[in-house]
Structure 1
């Protein structure tokens, strides 16, 4: 059975969990009933649901394992104040059930065309999708990989031993670690800038670049690439916000109106009172509507719903097609209510 054609959550079981760094864990999920194989494109993410205080909370995490296996591996870094990341690190145990939604995402090594030479550039937990890409390419051969990763030190480098192993056994894999504190290791020490980028990958103009990490890091790297004349159409990025960036990020400048509005969801028999300017996601969740919100930052598309009547203001239309936008679909986490609404899921 291939886990790609499903529209409702699939219940998996955590079979293993371990620390990658002091504030990062990896865990393995598998189907408890049968040896179900999981199909996805290396570099994609999946929304996972964890039961916390009697409620299933969804968040989107990149898949770090290879496709077509009977398990999926994920890596989660602790986020200060993050409800789900802290639960996963402190409380997730072998035998716990986790809900899986269909893998998705345009950042992958199938849809993003590439040359025979690539540069994977990551920082922090941004290493997870590019690690899956690298492992897939290495399993099939034919791609030369420069793997650039930025971390604080060896202790805080996710997949450190695995990276060293790949660098040893695969001639086409070239590991380039840049650490803030290299200690007695043989890795470079410093802060990434344009000169370091060229030092780490002198032929980067001849490679396809895949970039993932904190927003400011990606902005800096794209600026360096632009300054050296890189063809930016050959640079692919995974823009994924930390779970701490939730609906609070929707607050607009200035004071909101105190106008009372009503949000109706006829399919669930819900009519909820709200204020103009409220987050649509907050109102739906407070009213008990079973909307799934995984990334909560307008990226994953899991909270897609249709506004049949009324007006909203949005900050993201990521993952929505032009046809869906014309039909009134919005992302609830990135939408603010401006009038009475009628919504369907």
Structure 2
């Protein structure tokens, strides 16, 4: 996962030494950082989290977020990074960073996490597209080590076989835990002689997976494997997440058990909005951002708060615009908004007045928010 976003919340960085670097595919490379004893307390993390790398590239400083592939028990930070285009900062980073170099790495963060339940019998499935495998690899390694009763199914989509990142590591995991882990690869631009595994991971493909792979359950002859699914993990491009998440929901998985992580900007809702809101016009907005006070007037509430402020040119922090990443988190100090479904905020945070600007429909003539949470 790579995110490009301005930050309103302070991020703590530390210098870490690069221990390993290698190319995995034509466009994806691997980095491993050592964590010295003196910094281990700052780099304790949960499976599924990410770090920010700060580095100089093409005349400017960059702060980009990348999901970790390492599991907490491994005691190191490992990343899979994709080079999306020829002149990207990621390509510059790969070509210029050498083993032994020091790089500024943030303390781990993110909420694409699961509560560990080592004493329960669970079924967890994952859907990954391309570089979206990175946080799922962290999750699966962690679950296989710490939850002996949990079984896992991974459905991993790529363009071709040559594009599969971490293929060797995934196959080693499956061979070592063949009784609890099954991995299925899908190809959108390569014919392999089996239509089930050709094409993108989407709503139609999920239906086929349920009917052809997640069938009779050896542990319960009266139900299917799909009936036993406890949690779903999804990471990839926005369209893939939207299609797969809705397919899982429509096939009976509660939304609270469907977890997803984006690795690019996505401007649509993951789930359809099923509610109409009263029209509010001529809205006055006051907000604090990076220690500056701003005021603006919005024509109406047909577009959500974040999107309206971005249209007007304000440097509001964002990444996904879909209620997943939490980058636009802020405190509602005055006024009313309707906060739509999101994957980020806890009930405690919502009760404390914290909202996500990207998921906020304004319901009053005046609102005041504060993006400087620190």
Alignment match, 2:253: 232
Q: Which runs of 5+ in 2 are unaligned?
A: 1-9, 200-204, 217-224, 269-280, 300-304
Aligned partners of 2:288, 2:125: CA distance in 1, in Å?
49
User: For each residue in 1:252-300, what CA deviation from the matched residue of structure 2 results, as whole angstroms up to 9, or x when unmatched?
Assistant: xxxxx998865456x93x234545377487599967xxx8656565323
Distance 2:109 2:34 in 1: 14
- Map 1:141-180; keep pairs closer than 5 Å: 141-172=148-179, 173-180=181-188
Alignment pair present for 1:217 and 2:240:
yes
Distance 1:201 1:19, change over 3 A: farther
1:72 alignment partner, one of 73, 77, 89: 77
Instruction: Describe the shift of the 1:211–1:318 C-alpha distance in structure 2 as closer, same or farther (beyond 3 A).
Output: closer
Q: After the TM superposition, which of the residue ranges 189-198 and 161-170 deviates more from structure 2?
A: 189-198
Query: Shift of the alpha carbon at 1:212?
Result: 0.8
Q: 1:10 aligned to 13, 24, 27, which one?
A: 13
Q: What pairs up with 1:1-345 in 2 under 5 angstroms?
A: 8-13=11-16, 15=18, 16-31=20-35, 34=38, 36=40, 38-42=43-47, 44-51=48-55, 54-55=60-61, 57-59=63-65, 61-79=66-84, 86-92=88-94, 93-94=97-98, 95-108=101-114, 110=116, 115-140=121-146, 141-172=148-179, 173-181=181-189, 189-191=197-199, 192-203=205-216, 204-208=225-229, 209-213=231-235, 214-221=237-244, 231-233=252-254, 236-245=257-266, 263-264=287-288, 268=291, 270-272=292-294, 274-276=296-298, 279=306, 297-309=322-334, 318-332=343-357, 339=366, 341=368, 343=370, 344-345=372-373
Consecutive unaligned residues of structure 1, counting only runs of 5 or more, are 1-6, 248-256
TM-score (norm 2): 0.65
In the TM superposition, what is the alpha-carbon distance from 1:163 to its structure 2 partner?
A: 1.9
Cα separation, 2, equivalents of 1:215 and 1:283: 21
Give the aligned CA root-mean-square deviation in angstroms.
4.5
CA distance in 2, matches of 1:155, 1:143: 30
Q: How far did 1:100 drift? A: 1.7
1:206 positional shift: 4.8
Shifted more, 124-133 versus 148-157: the winner is: 124-133
User: How many residues are paired up?
Assistant: 320
Distance apart, 1:151 and its partner CA: 1.9
Q: TM-score, normalised by structure 1?
A: 0.70
CA distances 1:6-62 after superposition (whole Å, capped 9, x unpaired):
x851324361333333232332234467462643332x2234143455455353x43
- Residue 223 to residue 306, structure 1, CA distance change in 2 (3 Å): closer
Contact 1:151 1:179 survives alignment (8 Å): yes
